[in-house]
Amino acid sequence: MDTRVPRLERLDLPSGKQGIRRSIPSGIDSVMDLLKDPKIFNYVILCLYALNACRWAYAKSWGNFFYWLSAFGITTSVTWEMKCG
């Protein structure tokens, strides 16, 4: 992990004025790009659905298990836009 303090850089603005920009480590850029992906919410929900299904399977509550497994399947089909035909 990079613990250095971001340094300030001069930035030429379109108006002709100069501004100051903080340089951001490249690892943060990739995390921010990941968080900007609109499907990230679906991936988080899929993980929660899978964990919930495992919890109900462990409790041997099969009705709840199949409910969460179905929710997982529906969200999967919507996330990857599966098309039939």
Q: How many C-beta atoms surround the C-beta of residue 5 within 10 A?
A: 7
For the whole prediction, is pTM greater than 0.95?
Answer: no
Cα 43 to Cα 51: distance, rounded to the nearest angstrom: 12
Side-chain-side CA neighbours of 45 within 13 Å: the count stands at 15
For 12-56, the pLDDT digits (tens) are 555 555 555 555 555 566 777 777 777 788 888 999 999 999 999
For residue 85, pLDDT over 50 is answered with no
Delimit the domains of the chain by residue range: 40-79
Phi, psi of 14 (to 5 degrees): -60, -25
